[in-house]
A and B are shown apart, each in its own frame.
Chain A
Amino acid sequence: MFKIVDHEQFADNLFLFKIEAPRLAKKAKAGQFVILRAFENGERIPLTIADYDREKGTIDIIFQTVGKTTKKLGLLKTGDEILDLVGPLGEPTEIENFGTSVVVGGGVGIAPIYPIARSLKEAGNKVISIIGARTKDIVFWVDKLKAVSDEVLIATDDGSLGTKGFVTDLLRGKMDSEQIDRVWAIGPMIMMRAVAEVTRPEKIKTIVSLNPIMVDGTGMCGACRVLVGDETKFACVDGPEFDAHLVDFNLAMRRACYYKEEEQTAQTSGCNNNGGGCQCQ
């Protein structure tokens, strides 16, 4: 059992859990994820590690309540326990001093870009964080990001915070004004694809973190197959980060929606693709 030592609710459907998992916290690195199973009859769901504290032995996860599992998860509070938590899974982010690095986080994807930004900063990069969301209520961790970034830019769809528009607008603006050496984009699939299209003509190496449907997360089931440059990869062990210019996003989006009907049967709405978001509704 894994104890929730702190929880925070950023918005109606947006939660943070700080979970006691000392072994996991000791090993976790930027870019990696966990799989949790909160209840006896529950699903195993992948969630990116948003932060870790090696000394206190905790990890942070941030999730949006979209399907049955995340909705049930959202009812847990500080002091409650998560039944199963396994990780750190996947390959860590490749971190070195690339020069000027831009990390783009959309929606709940703001969470996983934080440890990447921090690691990049520690490695000597100039770090520009660009975050975006539908509206200001669901923007979080701005201060945390400011502490590890040279610059933080915000876009909201409705203009309630930062620039009105999309993260891609801000990214394009930055690309016009300075030399960008590498870009990360994490968020809804549509956003990641859009970022890939912005950086493609300029040939700026861009990395996305995919969050497909998974069961075990250790390479055993193959549910998380993605096509990257004509090669089938397992996101759980080969990824979750891949070269955005090589990812077949259309295939990834279709695969993310495979259990849409079943999700509805489970008396919930939307696709249970936490964190990534296939936006198939």
Chain B
Amino acid sequence: MSIKAPRNPMPSQDAIERKTNFKEVALGYDKETAINEAKRCLQCKKPMCMQGCPVEVDIPDFIGAIAEENFEQAAKIIKNKNNLPAVCGRVCPQESQCEQKCILGIKGEPVAIGRLERFIADWEAAEEGKETIQTSCNNKKVAVIGAGPSGLTCAGDLAKLGYDVTVFEALHTPGGVLMYGIPEFRLPKTVVKREIDYIRDLGVKIETNSVMGKIGTVDELMNEEGFSAVYIATGAGLPHFMNIPGENLNGVYSANEFLTRTNLMAAYNFPNFDTPIKVGEKVAVIGAGNVAMDSARTALRLGAKESIIVYRRSKNEIPARLEELEHAEEEGVQLFLLTSPISINGDENGQVKSMTCLKYELGEPDSSGRCRPIAIEGSEFEMEIDTVIMAIGQGPNPLVANSTPGLDLTKRGNIIADEETGLTSKDGVFAGGDIVTGAATVILAMGAGKKAARAIHDYLENK
């Protein structure tokens, strides 16, 4: 196979069609395309791609197995390291992880590692009578707080090592951001449920409806309930607002609320599902990260005539994945760049009717390395809208930290934990994912869960 062979494109639902439904946008490779793509891999002796994978998947090995049409073997290789491959294959930013390091990417296009991972995960799910992994139990109990990507990864890895793991989840469904945050059209919930079932098959117990910090504490888990170690992976769940006038008007949502209603509570299927959502005709989403793209695209699918991303920097600084931005634009999401609201204005019933915005220009780079937006004096203008979605980031939820004495926190309330091990200031307590790093990606959270599982194993072996 020539190095110059182009990367196989991902088949996807037509943009006009898909913006009216919640079905998955990217359709996935078929067998032939997957094998073709796998054959593009050079099988490097020193594979750079693996350095870009936070969960250490043996990438060339599984791609080699695909090229040889041994899908079963490929699945085994992936699952040896990655407990959530169908999720990762869909939502990992591969372009800045494994695929960024692929040698083919220097002169051409990198191997589509993420798409191949997804192909194998989906292939395996469709196969009947898959074998279940037998794990032995060493009777040591470990508690994981939060059933998001980080917690589930840690729990799965610990179960594979023989631990008796219980995951405590605040919501009624495990999955964390995979269930409440990322939309159905990007990550179908059946896929998430399937991968969670796999974690359960490994022997992990998941207790839903359990808000730690309220129904129990870390100290109680360790001192009264016999857990030898605890991994805190409670994520970044506290929505930020801008603190501008009018944010409490009807029609202003946090992205968290907007997405949770739609995804977790299936409000897009109202009234078949009881949870309502209102979208209006003209929606402004403030912010331009992945969560903002998800919100803007969801708004269109809920029936908004116009969905606008309002972002105070320029297109170059947009933090969302390029693929997400492209998908959003294809579907008709508009970009209002170098713009930010200074107030939200309501009608006599307290319903949003417009935003007063300022135009910005870019100055010198700030501490984040991105150019600092500077407001242009006298540039005020009014934008008529009926719904505003604040997608400007999330902070750490304080419930667990506040109920755990001896846990050191940053000024912002994130848990201070060692990057390599997740070890916190409290003996036997580990933490990772967004609660430590602040809002980041699914795969980084999973990587932290993996490292913590290893560190917890070391800790308990030497105890």
Contact = CB atoms under 8 A, between A and B. Distances in A.
B265 A266 contact: no
Interface stretch (A147-155, A157-165, A184-192, A220-228): A220-228
A151 to B, nearest CB: 34
A227 B349 CA distance: 17
Contacts of B260: 215-216, 220-221
B248 A220 contact: no
A41 B209 contact: no
A229 interface: no
Given A89-B211, A220-B260, A222-B254, A258 B172 contact: no
A271 to B, nearest CB: 12
A216 B349 CA distance: 26
Interface stretch (B56-64, B234-242, B436-444): B234-242
B211 A86 contact: yes
Nearest to B402: A237
Contact of A222 (B211, B215, B256, B271): B256
Given A220-B237, A254-B350, A27 B278 contact: no
A177 interface: no
A88 B214 contact: yes
Given A221-B254, A223-B257, A215 B265 contact: yes
Given A216-B260, A232-B247, A43 B274 contact: yes
Contact of A87 (B215, B216, B275): B215
Contact of A237 (B180, B266, B399): B399
A202 B171 CA distance: 43
A221 B211 contact: no
Nearest to A26: B215
A151 B350 CA distance: 41
Interface residues of B, number: 41
B266 to A, nearest CB: 7
A267 B272 CA distance: 11
Interface string A243-258: 0000000010011011
A79 interface: no
Nearest to A72: B274
A259 interface: yes
Interface of A: 23-24, 27, 37, 39, 41-44, 68-69, 83-89, 215-216, 218-223, 225-227, 232, 237, 251, 254-255, 257-259, 262-263, 265-267
Interface of B: 170-172, 180, 208-211, 214-216, 237-239, 241, 243, 247-248, 250, 253-254, 256-257, 260-261, 264-266, 270-276, 278, 349-350, 397-399
10 contacts: A27-B214, A69-B274, A215-B261, A220-B397, A221-B257, A222-B257, A227-B248, A251-B350, A254-B349, A265-B276
